[in-house]
Amino acid sequence: MEQSVLKVEHLTVRYGRTCEYCRNGGKLDKNTCPHCKTVWACKDVNIELYEGEILGVVGESGSGKSTLMKSLYFDFPVTEGRGYLRDYEGGEEEIFSQSLQQKKFIKNHIMGMVYQNPMLGLKMDYSSAGNIAEKLIAAGHRNYARMNDRVTELLDAVEILQSRKKEPPKNFSGGMQQRVQISKALANNPAILLLDEVTTGLDLSVQARVLELIRTIRQKFHISMLLVSHDLAVIRMLADRTIVMLDGRIIEQGLTDQILDDPQHPYTQQLVHSLL
C-alpha cells in the first residue's frame, strides 16, 4: 500500500465540559449528551488520504463534516486524536500538538483550504493578486518579479482574466470568488487541498465549471484532496473514495462507486435512495 499523505487517528472534537455518562461511552442523542448537553461533533474519526486521490466526505447537516475540515486546518483545537503528514517531518511528528508557529508553517506550505464561505478564505477588499501574494509572502517569498509570475500562473490556472487581477474579490461573482480562493490555496504548491462545500449555493452552471476546475487541478498538480459535500452528485463526479459521516462518526467508507451503487449502512441507503 502506498504511503498516505495524511493520516488521522481517533480524532474527536467536542463542545462542552462532558460528564461521567458521556465520557464513559453513554448513548448520545444524535451527537449530544442527554445529561450534560456536550456536543460530540466528531467522534473517533480515522482517515487516510493517499497521494493524488480525492477523498469525499458526505453526510447530512450537523454530521461533523465542517468540524472535521476546520480542525484539520487548525481553525479550532481537537479534543483528542493524532494527525500525521507525509510532508511534515517525514510523517513522524504529530501535528495537532505542534506550536502555533509550526501550524502556520503547515498551513502555508503543506495544506490549502477552500471554505464554503469565500469571506473566510479571502480578504474581500484586497486585490485578487494581493490575496495570492499574501499567501506567498507568508511562505517566505520576497522577490516581486517571481511573485508576480506566480500570481499570473495561478490566475491562469483558475481562468481569471489577468485584466481583473487588481480587482478585489468583493466585485466578483460567487463562482469567481471560489476560483480566487482556490488559486490562493494552491499558491505554495501544497500537497493537500481541503475543500469544504465549495460549490454549495452557486448556480448549477457555475457549479459545473468550478467542479471541472477542481478535476483539472487534480490532474495538473497531482494534488490530494479532501472534499466535503452534502451533494452526492458532486461526490460521484469527483471522489475516488468516500466516507459517510453521521452524528460525528464515520459509518461507512469505500470506493465511491461502491458506496453509491451498493450502500451497506441503512443511513447511506436512505441518503442514496432519496436521490433516485
User: CB–CB of 70/41 below 8 Å?
Assistant: no
61-69, 94-102, 152-160, 172-180 -> range binding ligand ATP (CB under 6 A): 61-69
Cβ-contact 67, 42 below 8 angstroms: yes
Compute the distance between CA of residue 51 and CA of residue 81 in angstroms, rounded to an integer: 22
Task: Give the binding range for ligand ATP (CB under 6 A) out of 21-29, 47-55, 56-64, 253-261.
Answer: 56-64
Which residue lies nearer to ligand ATP by CB, 65 or 184?
65
**Judged by CB under 6 A, which of 65, 86, 165, 236 binds ligand ATP?**
65
Q: How far is the CB of 66 from ligand ATP (least distance, A)?
A: 3
Give the sign of the dihedral formed by CA 80, CA 81, CA 84, CA 85: negative
Q: 133: helix, coil or strand?
A: helix
The one segment of 64-72, 143-151, 203-211, 253-261 that binds ligand ATP by CB under 6 A? 64-72
Provide the b/e sequence for 100-119 (b: ≥16 CB within 10 Å): eeebebbbbbbbbbbbbebe
* Strand intervals (E) in the chain: 4-15, 39-50, 54-58, 80-85, 111-114, 192-196, 224-228, 241-246, 249-255
- Contact present, 11 and 97 (Cβ < 8 Å): no
When binding is defined by CB under 6 A, the residue of 59, 112, 118, 169 that contacts ligand ATP is: 59
Question: Identity (one letter) of the amino acid at 124?
Answer: M
CA separation for the pair 28, 132 (Å, rounded) = 43
- As measured in angstroms, the least distance from the Cβ of 97 to ligand ATP is 22
- Which range of residues in 62-70, 89-97, 216-224, 255-263 is near ligand ATP by CB under 6 A? 62-70
| By CB under 6 A, residue 199 contacts ligand ATP | no
Q: Does 224 bind ligand ATP (CB under 6 A)?
A: no
Residue 117 vs 143, nearer CB to ligand ATP = 117
Tell whether residue 230 is a contact of ligand ATP (CB under 6 A).
Answer: yes
Nearer to ligand ATP, 32 or 188 (CB): 32
Over the window 15 to 44, marking each residue x when it contacts ligand ATP by CB under 6 A and - when it does not, the resulting string is x---------------x-------x-x---
Residue pair 29/104 in contact (Cβ under 8 Å)? The answer is no
Q: Which chain residues interact with ligand ATP by CB under 6 A?
A: 15, 31, 39, 41, 59, 61-67, 230
